[in-house]
Amino acid sequence: MNYNYLLVNSVLNYRVRKFKSLQLLDIKEPKYAEIEKIIRDKEGLRITSNLLNSLLEITDKSNPRIFLSIFMFTSFPDMINYSPETSSEDSVEYNLLKFSKEIINILHKLSTSSNSLYSRVLVMRFRYLYEVMSTLFFEFKKRDRLGLIEGLIVSYSEVEQFAETLDKSKELDETTLEHIELEKKKIMKRLEQLDGVKLFNEVRERKQRVIERITNNVKENMEKAYWDSIKSKMEANPPDYTVIIPLLKQIIIYIDSALEYNKKYVNEVIETIDLDFLNQKIEDGEVSKFDIHDIIEYILDTFIELEPRIRLESNKKLKEDKLNKLMTSRDSELPKYLVYFFKDMFKRFENLVTETVEYRKMPLIRDIINKKKA
């Protein structure tokens, strides 16, 4: 007779009886508080750990808290989001509940078995069920964690939107702001505990990219509508060329921004273009393609003068192409040409102003500007 086998079987029977004494196997009308109390009890955890060590070949896989959680799942299936109406047979929650019930059934049989051979069969079955249940449990926890993180991300976004709404309505006082910041810190702390900060940042980055894309689309649509409106007015009968006056004013603003510390030159530009005189000629119907040519040529000359010398040759070619296109276009094509010209020059002047602003930020240039101002 194998005395070692008898000893192992005897220890197993003893540990099964000790586990049965916890009364988890005999609860008829389960109550959450009662089961939770048993699960949290140190002695209960010790008894459960001993039982698992006897039942499992690999003891480092035994986790008494995970094992005891099956009594929660089977008593309160909604804890794992199980619903008889919505949970399919291939879902994690359905199978987690199914295997948990089978494990409890095995324990019931072990607690009443007096046949050592039958008990060994039950133990082998238990090991298989426990392995599957553990895999399902960790999959559920992973999904549950992601669900919690997603919920916290939504909550953070809602808090921010609430703050923005109050700010726009001028109802965001200092006390309310403190409460909002405190709530945001609480959410971030919980995200840190769930190791969800990385996902939080990724979601916010994606959201920002979506907002930027939508904003750019709206901006593009508004710009298109703006230029279409200008073009249609110039194509009217009779054509309304007064619409180029605001466009020329914008060009002057760009030049003024690029020459912030040379107002004399800016005044010279204003006098040369002479918007009042041009507007009068347009209203009197006396403006010609040659008048427009002179204005466009002056704008291009000014742009070339403000641009870095390194782009001189390419800008000369730009001027030649634009003037040739103007003079070779038919009168009916003039509105289309002017829209094309101003759209392109706005972008070029915007880039010029940006470069100029960055240039002024350089320490040496900033010192020179400050000395001139002094």
Domain boundaries, the chain: 3-148, 150-208, 235-373
Average pLDDT over residues 280-289: 88
* Cα 184 from chain centre: 16
Average pLDDT over residues 67-72: 85
**Helices (H), ranges, 235-362:** 244-258, 263-273, 275-283, 289-306, 312-328, 334-360
Residue 297: per-residue pLDDT: 95
φ, ψ at 295 (rounded to 5°): -65, -45
How far is Cα 103 from Cα 38, in angstroms, rounded to an integer? Answer: 18
Q: Maximum CA pair distance of the chain? A: 123
SS3 assignment, position 285: coil
Q: Which of 9-23, 166-180, 351-365 has the lowest mean pLDDT?
A: 351-365
Mind listing the pLDDT tens digit for each residue in 143-197?
A: 777 777 777 777 777 788 777 777 766 666 777 778 888 888 888 888 887 777 8
Mind listing the pLDDT tens digit for each residue in 309-349?
A: 888 999 999 999 999 999 998 888 899 999 999 999 998 99
Residue pair 349/255 in contact (Cβ under 8 Å)? The answer is: yes
- Within a 13 Å sphere around the CA of 323, how many CA atoms are in the beta-carbon half? 17
Nearest to 9 by CA among 106, 130, 118, 129: 118
Average pLDDT over residues 18-37: 81
Residue pair 53/62 in contact (Cβ under 8 Å)? The answer is: yes
Average pLDDT over residues 100-114: 88
Residue pair 20/71 in contact (Cβ under 8 Å)? The answer is: no
